[in-house]
Amino acid sequence: GESVGLHLPTLSVQEGDNSIINCAYSNSASDYFIWYKQESGKGPQFIIDIRSNMDKRQGQRVTVLLNKTVKHLSLQIAATQPGDSAVYFCAENKNGGSQGNLIFGKGTKLSVKP
């Protein structure tokens, strides 16, 4: 099976609240992790990435946290907006380096209530 999985298949939040989407991985050799957002009928869109030598990385309204001890990845979205409604996928570069390729989790559907 996939080495990347998600704890919750769906997440519903109120507009303006913060969202946290979680992801577990099992391959300690993975050296790169990435979050994608997929809106209905569209291809996955890059949100933010992080390398294994970092614990935290921030973007615009998004933060990715990496806990290598427990092999856990999370995406935090601040002040969630209706436009954030989508399916979010985490992915890992399973074998690391130039020989790896991205392996995706099954996704979490985020619904934002106005």
Partner 1 sequence: DSGVTQTPKHLITATGQRVTLRCSPRSGDLSVYWYQQSLDQGLQFLIQYYNGEERAKGNILERFSAQQFPDLHSELNLSSLELGDSALYFCASSVVGGGYGYTFGSGTRLTVV
Annotate each residue in 85-104 with x if it binds partner 1 (CB under 8 A) or - if it does not, as one string. ----x-xxxxxxxxxxxxxx
| 37 scored as a contact of partner 1 (CB under 8 A) | no
Encoded one letter per residue, x for contact with partner 1 by CB under 8 A and - for no contact, window 44-73 reads: xxx--x------------------------
Establish if 2 lies at the interface with partner 1 (CB under 8 A): yes
CB of 63 to partner 1, least distance (A): 17
Q: Is residue 37 a contact partner of residue 110, using CB atoms and an 8 Å limit? A: no
What is the DSSP annotation of 34-71? EEEEE-TTS--EEEEEEETT-SEEE-SSEEEEEETTTT
99: phi then psi, degrees, rounded to nearest 5: -95, 0
